[in-house]
């Protein structure tokens, strides 16, 4: 599932490519393309001018010269793609947008093979759309309060891996970057938050921020063609992964084989020597 770095990579691509265009036609082509809670059908966007993009955690939205925005969640395989003559056309298009500005036309599509992603037209409250109101700021958000986040983690008596995945404490981190964060911090994924000091929690937040920053620079993590950017290109952070998906591979720090455990229907990858329980 795309996490913050992948969503941010897509957002940056859209910001660069579609800002300033006007939507001349918007079509939903699948019954699950539009979230049921959307305040209006997709064709309501016809005539709207795109003014930019924004994001919180794994939610992103396209801003318009209207009192609402187009929100997107990529789910497991959602993609925004610009159709280009020299590239194959998308094969699982769920929504289609014709864009125009003087002397130039673009076709933007929302492609989603597994159909867990969605689009929604929503109003903003304090500059955040309705569906993301319950999501905590991520470490790149100007409103992110590191001290308050540390305290929020410490109030929970839960496994640190579970805590990192809780989007209501700090958003953006999913399975990939949680494993990479805990590997860098040398913390076992099953350690309870109540067993960690405020300083250690703050260090974990710093590592999460650092690993996601590095992933953004490399265009995110792509294990298959279900995650690609708006130009149809894959991210390269997979080549930098130390723990996630590296079961039985030597730990880059000490050489001990990476171990995988399962809890809460999720897998965690860690070094049993560097990240002792």
Residue tagged active-site, from 2, 5, 139, 189 = 2
Residue 226, pLDDT > 60, answer: no
pLDDT tens digits, 108-125: 999 999 999 999 999 999
pLDDT tens digits, 65-98: 999 999 999 998 899 999 877 677 889 999 999 9
Predicted pLDDT of residue 62: 98
Which residues on neighbouring strands pair with residue 93, listed in sequence order?
Answer: 111
Predicted pLDDT of residue 264: 73
Please tell me the distance from the alpha carbon of residue 11 to that of residue 115, in angstroms, as a whole number. Answer: 20
Residue 263, pLDDT > 60, answer: yes
Cα 252 → chain centroid: 26
Helix, strand, coil in percent for the chain, rounding step 5: 25, 25, 45
> And the tokens for 141?
């958000």
Handedness of CA 34, 38, 44, 47 (dihedral sign): negative
> And the tokens for 164?
């990192």
Q: Domain spans of the chain?
A: 4-132, 146-270
Residue tagged active-site, from 101, 186, 260, 266 = 266
Predicted pLDDT of residue 211: 96
Mean pLDDT for the stretch of residues 158-162: 96
Class of domain 4-132: alpha beta
Residue 228: which pLDDT band, with cuts at 50, 70 and 90? low
Q: In angstroms, what CA-CA distances link 27 with 44, 93, 189?
A: 10, 10, 44
Residue 224, pLDDT > 60, answer: no
Please tell me the distance from the alpha carbon of residue 202 to that of residue 137, in angstroms, as a whole number. Answer: 16
Residue 239, pLDDT > 90, answer: no
- Which distant-in-sequence residues (6+ apart) come within 8 Å of 150 by Cβ? 198, 201, 202, 205
Please tell me the distance from the alpha carbon of residue 69 to that of residue 120, in angstroms, as a whole number. Answer: 8
Please tell me the distance from the alpha carbon of residue 97 to that of residue 106, in angstroms, as a whole number. Answer: 8
Residue 227, pLDDT > 70, answer: no
Clarify whether 107 is annotated catalytic.
no
Clarify whether 159 is annotated catalytic.
no
Q: Which of 31, 33, 115 is nearest to 77 (CA)?
A: 115
Mean pLDDT for the stretch of residues 235-240: 79
Q: Which of 73, 96, 63, 92 is nearest to 7 (CA)?
A: 73
Residue tagged active-site, from 56, 58, 161, 184 = 58
CATH number for the domain running over 146-270: 1.10.8.50
Clarify whether 67 is annotated catalytic.
no
> And the tokens for 124?
């903003």
Which residues on neighbouring strands pair with residue 101, listed in sequence order?
Answer: 104
Lowest mean pLDDT among 134-148, 195-209, 255-269: 255-269
Please tell me the distance from the alpha carbon of residue 210 to that of residue 73, in angstroms, as a whole number. Answer: 23
> And the tokens for 50?
């795109």
Which residues on neighbouring strands pair with residue 165, listed in sequence order?
Answer: none
Clarify whether 3 is annotated catalytic.
yes
249-261 as b/e, with b when 16 or more CB fall inside 10 Å? eebeeeeeebbee
Residue 209: which pLDDT band, with cuts at 50, 70 and 90? very high
Residue 230: which pLDDT band, with cuts at 50, 70 and 90? confident
Predicted pLDDT of residue 266: 83
| Residue 31 CB burial class (10 angstroms; 0-12, 13-18, ≥19) | exposed
pTM of the predicted protein model: 0.93
Residue 223, pLDDT > 60, answer: no
Residue 153, pLDDT > 80, answer: yes
């Amino acid at each position: 599932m795309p996490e913050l770095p992948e969503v941010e990579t897509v957002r940056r691509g859209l910001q660069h490519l579609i800002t300033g265009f006007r939507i001349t036609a918007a079509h939903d082509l699948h019954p699950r393309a539009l979230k049921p809670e959307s305040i209006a059908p997709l064709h309501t966007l016809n005539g709207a001018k795109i003014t930019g993009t924004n994001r919180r955690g794994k939610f992103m939205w396209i801003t318009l010269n209207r009192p609402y925005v187009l929100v997107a969640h990529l789910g497991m395989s959602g993609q925004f793609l610009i159709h280009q003559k020299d590239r194959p056309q998308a094969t699982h298009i769920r929504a289609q947008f014709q864009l125009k500005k003087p002397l130039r036309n673009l076709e933007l599509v929302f492609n989603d093979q597994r159909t867990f992603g969605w689009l929604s037209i929503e109003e903003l409250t304090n500059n955040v759309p309705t569906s993301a109101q319950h999501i905590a700021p991520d470490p790149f958000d100007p409103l992110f309060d590191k001290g308050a986040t540390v305290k929020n983690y410490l109030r929970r008596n839960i496994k640190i891996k579970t805590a990192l995945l809780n989007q209501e404490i700090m958003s953006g981190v999913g399975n990939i970057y949680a494993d990479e964060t805990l590997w860098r911090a040398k913390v076992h994924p099953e350690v309870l938050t109540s067993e960690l000091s405020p300083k250690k929690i703050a260090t974990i937040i710093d590592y999460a921020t650092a690993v996601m920053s590095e992933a953004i620079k490399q265009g995110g993590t792509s294990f298959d063609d279900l995650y690609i950017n708006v130009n149809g290109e894959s991210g390269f952070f997979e080549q930098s992964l130390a723990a996630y998906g590296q079961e039985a591979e030597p730990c880059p720090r000490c050489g001990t084989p990476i171990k995988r455990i399962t809890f809460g229907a999720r897998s965690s990858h860690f070094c049993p020597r560097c990240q002792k329980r």
